[in-house]
Amino acid sequence: MLRGYQGASIYVTDMNARMLQRFYDMGIRYITTRSVGYDHFDLDKARELGIRISTSPYSPDSVANYSIMMILMACRRAGQIMDAYRMQDFTLPGKRGKDISSATVGVIGTGQIGRTVLKHLSGFGCRLLACSPHEYDEAKQYARYVNMETLLRESDIITLHCPARENTYHIIDEQAIRQMKDGVILVNCARGTLIDTEALVSGLEAGKVGAAALDVVENEYGLYYNSFVRQPMANRELALLRSFPNVYLTHHTAFYTDEAVREIDENAVRGCVLFDRGEPNPYEVC
Ligand code: NAI
DSSP annotation string for 235-271: -HHHHHHHT-TTEEE--S-TT-SHHHHHHHHHHHHHH
* pLDDT-based confidence at residue 11 (cuts at 50, 70, 90): confident
Residue 142 has φ and ψ, to the nearest 5°, of -115, -25
Contact assessment for residue 17 and residue 40, using Cβ atoms and an 8 Å cutoff: no
- For residue 251, indicate whether it is catalytic: no
Maximum CA extent, the chain: 64
Using CA atoms, how far apart are residues 157 and 141, in angstroms rounded to an integer?
20
Q: 117 C-alpha vs ligand 1 centroid, how far in Å?
A: 12
pLDDT in tens, 186-218: 999 999 999 999 999 999 999 999 999 999 999
Question: Stretch 171-182: mean pLDDT, rounded?
Answer: 98
Using CA atoms, how far apart are residues 255 and 61, in angstroms rounded to an integer?
9
- For residue 134, indicate whether it is catalytic: no
Question: Stretch 34-62: mean pLDDT, rounded?
Answer: 95
* pLDDT-based confidence at residue 12 (cuts at 50, 70, 90): confident
DSSP annotation string for the chain: --TT-SEEEE-S--B-HHHHHHHHHTT--EEEESSS--TTB-HHHHHHHT-EEE-----THHHHHHHHHHHHHHHTTHHHHHHHHHTT----TT-----GGGSEEEEE--SHHHHHHHHHHGGGT-EEEEE-SS--HHHHTT-EE--HHHHHHH-SEEEE-----GGGTTSB-HHHHHHSPTTEEEEE-S-GGGB-HHHHHHHHHTTSEEEEEES--TT-TTTTTS--TTS----HHHHHHHT-TTEEE--S-TT-SHHHHHHHHHHHHHHHHHHHHT---TTB--
pLDDT (0 to 100) of residue 221? 87
pLDDT (0 to 100) of residue 80? 94
Mean pLDDT for all residues in the chain:
96
pLDDT (0 to 100) of residue 31? 97
**What pTM does this model have?**
0.94
- For residue 120, indicate whether it is catalytic: no
Residue 96 has φ and ψ, to the nearest 5°, of -75, 130
* pLDDT-based confidence at residue 53 (cuts at 50, 70, 90): very high
- Percent of the chain exceeding pLDDT 70 equals 100
Angle between helical axes of 258-277 and 61-75 (0-180°, round to 10):
150
* pLDDT-based confidence at residue 179 (cuts at 50, 70, 90): very high
Q: In terms of DSSP bridges, do strands 144-145 and 157-160 run parallel, antiparallel, or are they unpaired?
A: unpaired
Query: 184 pLDDT exceeds 90?
Result: yes
> CA torsion angle for 274, 278, 283, 285 (degrees, to 10)?
140
Nearest CA among 135, 128, 70 for reference residue 103: 128
Residue nearest to atom 8 of ligand 1 (CA): 111
The one catalytic residue among 220, 230, 263, 277: 220
- Percent of the chain exceeding pLDDT 90 equals 97
pLDDT (0 to 100) of residue 52? 96
Q: 37 C-alpha vs ligand 1 centroid, how far in Å?
A: 8
pLDDT (0 to 100) of residue 238? 95
pLDDT (0 to 100) of residue 13? 86
pLDDT in tens, 76-128: 999 999 999 999 999 999 999 999 999 999 999 999 999 999 999 999 999 99
Residue 134 has φ and ψ, to the nearest 5°, of -110, 130
Atom of ligand 1 nearest to the CA of 255: 40
Contact assessment for residue 194 and residue 164, using Cβ atoms and an 8 Å cutoff: yes
Mutate which of 11, 12, 35, 36 for ligand 1? The one with the most ligand atoms within 8 Å of its CB, which is: 36
pLDDT (0 to 100) of residue 181? 98
The one catalytic residue among 40, 77, 191, 218: 191
Q: 110 C-alpha vs ligand 1 centroid, how far in Å?
A: 7
Q: 159 C-alpha vs ligand 1 centroid, how far in Å?
A: 11
